[in-house]
C-alpha cells in the first residue's frame, strides 16, 4: 500500500520502553526538521518510561496493555482500531517490542517504519549487540526499514555504521548504536517520509521519485540530523 502525504503529515509513534528514539523524534518535530504533527504515542506497556516523555511534550498517549488481551490477534485488532481513529500517515515503531500479525501489517503496510539495532539483514530479532560480539563482526550499526510481515525483513531505507572496538561490550555497543546512529537516522527517515520524499510502492522503496537501488547511509543525512 502506498500512502501519499499531502499537507502536514500525521505521525503516530509506538513504544514499549524508555523512549530514547521517541525523544529524538519529538525534538525533530518540535524544531521543524520533521514536517509532521505527532498526534499520539501508543504503548503496549503501562510502565513504559517513554510515556512520561510524551506527556511532558504535550503529546496524547494511549496505553493498550497486551496482557489484557487473550492473544496476539486480539491485541493487534485493538491497536488497528486505535490507529484507524487517528488516521496516521506515518506509524513509527520506536522500540515497540511486539511481533505484529500479518493482517495488521498488511493494513498499514507502506505507512510503517521500524528502527532495528543491527546492519540488516544481519542479526534480526533480539540480542543483536551480543550477536555482533559472538560473531566477531568488524562493524555494527542500525537500520531503518519499512515494516512487512517478515520480522525485520522489510525494504531497507538507511543504515548507519561504525567500527567495533576491542573495548566494546554489549552494553557499550547498545549505547553507541543508539546515540551515534539510531537517534540520527530515524528522525531523518521519518522527515523524508513526512515530506513525501520517501515512500514504498509494491514493496519497492522510492526516494525522491526514484527506486532506492542501494540503502542510504550517514553520508546522505541532511544538515541537522
Each residue's pLDDT tens digit in the chain (225 positions)? 444 455 799 999 999 999 999 999 999 999 999 999 999 999 999 999 999 999 999 999 999 999 999 999 999 999 999 999 999 999 999 999 999 999 999 999 999 999 999 999 999 999 999 999 999 999 999 999 999 999 999 999 999 999 999 999 999 999 999 999 999 999 999 999 999 999 999 899 999 999 999 999 999 999 999
Return the C-alpha torsion angle 88, 34, 196, 193, nearest 10.
-70
pLDDT digits (tens, 9 = 90+) for 115-169: 999 999 999 999 999 999 999 999 999 999 999 999 999 999 999 999 999 999 9
pLDDT of residue 2: 46
- Cell numbers for 38, please give them: 505527532
Strand 36-43 relative to strand 61-63, pairing: parallel
pLDDT of residue 7: 74
Contacts of 160 (CB under 8 A, 6+ apart): 141, 142, 180, 181, 182, 184, 185, 217, 218
- Residue numbers annotated as active site: 116
pLDDT of residue 1: 44
Q: Report the distance separating Cα 220 and Cα 216, nearest Å.
A: 6
* Contact (Cβ atoms closer than 8 angstroms) between residue 111 and residue 88: yes
Amino acid at each position: 500500500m502506498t500512502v501519499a502525504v499531502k499537507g502536514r503529515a500525521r505521525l503516530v509513534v509506538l513504544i514499549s520502553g524508555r523512549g530514547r528514539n521517541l525523544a529524538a523524534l519529538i525534538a525533530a518535530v518540535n524544531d521543524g526538521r520533521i514536517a509532521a504533527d505527532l498526534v499520539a504515542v501508543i504503548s503496549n506497556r503501562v510502565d513504559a518510561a517513554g510515556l512520561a516523555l510524551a506527556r511532558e511534550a504535550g503529546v496524547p498517549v494511549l496505553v493498550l496493555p497486551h496482557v489484557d488481551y487473550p492473544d496476539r490477534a486480539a491485541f493487534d485488532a485493538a491497536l488497528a482500531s486505535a490507529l484507524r481513529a487517528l488516521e496516521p500517515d506515518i506509524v513509527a515503531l520506536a522500540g515497540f517490542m511486539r511481533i505484529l500479525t500479518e493482517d495488521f501489517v498488511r493494513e498499514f503496510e507502506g505507512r510503517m517504519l521500524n528502527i532495528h539495532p543491527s546492519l540488516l539483514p544481519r542479526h534480526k530479532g533480539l540480542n543483536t549487540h551480543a550477536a555482533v560480539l559472538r560473531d566477531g563482526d568488524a562493524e555494527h550499526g542500525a537500520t531503518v526499514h519499512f515494516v512487512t510481515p517478515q520480522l525485520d525483513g522489510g525494504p531497507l531505507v538507511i543504515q548507519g555504521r561504525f567500527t567495533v572496538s576491542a573495548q566494546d561490550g554489549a552494553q557499550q555497543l547498545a549505547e553507541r548504536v543508539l546515540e551515534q546512529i539510531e537517534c540520527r537516522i530515524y528522525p531523518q527517515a521519518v522527515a523524508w517520509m513526512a515530506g513525501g520524499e520517501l515512500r514504498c510502492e509494491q514493496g519497492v522503496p522510492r526516494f525522491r521519485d526514484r527506486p532506492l537501488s542501494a540503502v542510504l547511509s550517514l553520508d546522505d543525512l541532511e544538515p541537522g540530523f
